[in-house]
Amino acid sequence: MPKTLLPALVAALLVPLVSPAWAQSGPAVESPNAKLSFGFSAAEEDAAGEGGFALGSVAVPLGHSFGAQVDLLVDDQENATDRFGASTGVALHLFARDPSRYLLGVYAHAIETDSIFGDIDATRYGIEGEYYLGDFTFSGFLGRDDLSGAGIDADFEAIELSAARYLGTMTEISFAGTRAFDNTDAAVGVEHMLGAGAGNMSLFGELGFGDSGTRLTAGVSVYLGSRGMSLRDIHRRNDPPTRMQAPGLIPFLESACAQPEISSLAIGQGGSDEVLGVRELDGQIMRKPQPTRREAGCGRREALLWLPEPDFEAR
């Protein structure tokens, strides 16, 4: 963890304790609650992942001023190259919140993504915050993303900024920008709650665009333990946002794990630059190369060996 980030992570949770100006107008989490979300993402570009996903969250109060939330992610968002597949992840929020003014806390997640090169682990940590101003919510995240596994060892800055407006109390329209995995993206989203009551249900959709390509996401969320709350109250009194679906991850991996470099080795004198078909080498027919080794990892080499073809005679 960068040395400059650690003090900020600590301060994020200490400021509400030492400043009288942050006196609470209500609890950080109204009551223990949960959320289940199911959706589907479609992408225009071959490199971007698309498919179904499920998200689950459980939030609990930690005394009056603090709260915690755990998020779980399961998805099968494969991309067109079939080189990257399903992901699973877990996240933790620890935060202080005044539901009439702000949320301020620390956040971390770990996600494992399947690939033909082996499992790839993505971890994120940093500071998250929200500021409430009437019908507007301004949100941000500042931290780091670390990638490891399958020959990758890299880290990146992670920045998220968003502004949302509630139309009444049951509909939210949001505008967001992100910088993650060396990609810059933007998104426009909407969420509408169908009714307030036990097991409140909402519909959501998002159009994303930028370096990671164009994508469309839609789904449904069910809020549990938020009886009688409007969508705005749930967002500010119970349920912090999830952050485990970074659009730039799969496009970055596609770039970092470009098709392995090919090398060919020929038996006998002479050689050939071709890697397919039948070639005559030194009076002997050689059949097309067969892979002799493929090392797991991004950017590794695949060695191909030209072998004699005994069933043919050179002409």
pLDDT of the residue at 247: 72
Same domain, 271 and 171: no
- Tens of pLDDT, residues 35-56: 999 999 888 765 566 789 999 9
Residue 88 has pLDDT above 90, yes or no: yes
Is position 14 within any domain? Answer: yes
- CATH number of the domain at 171, please: 2.40.160.40
Last residue of a domain, one of 212, 233, 256: 256
Is residue 313 domain-resident? no
Domain finish residue from 216, 240, 256: 256
DSSP strands (E only) in the chain: 33-43, 51-62, 66-75, 84-98, 102-115, 120-133, 136-149, 152-167, 171-180, 183-195, 200-210, 215-224, 261-265, 279-281, 284-294, 301-308
315 lies in some domain: no
206 and 266 co-located in one domain: no
pLDDT of residue 197: 53
Whether residue 181 is contained in a domain is answered as yes
pLDDT digits (tens, 9 = 90+) for 114-154: 888 888 999 999 999 999 999 999 999 999 999 998 888 88
> What's the confidence (pLDDT) of residue 47?
55
Looking at the chain, the whole-number percentage of residues with pLDDT higher than 70 is 69
**Predicted structure pTM score:** 0.76
Do the Cβ atoms of 227 and 243 come closer than 8 Å? no
Which domain-ending residue is among 256, 281, 296? 256
Tell me what the mean pLDDT of segment 215-240 comes to. Answer: 91
- The mean pLDDT of the chain is 78
Classified as helix, coil or strand, 96 is: strand
Q: Which domain holds residue 274?
A: 261-308
Q: Which two tokens stand for residue 206?
A: 């998002």
Number of domains forming the structure of the chain: 2
- Do both 15 and 142 map to the same domain? yes
Q: Are residues 139 and 195 in the same domain?
A: yes
Tell me, what's the pLDDT at 23?
56
Does 293 lie in the same domain as 165? no
Tell me: do 148 and 274 sit in the same domain: no
Is residue 122 domain-resident? yes
Residue 58 pLDDT exceeds 80: yes
List Cβ neighbours of 92 (8 Å cut-off, separation of 6 or more).
68, 69, 70, 71, 107, 108, 109
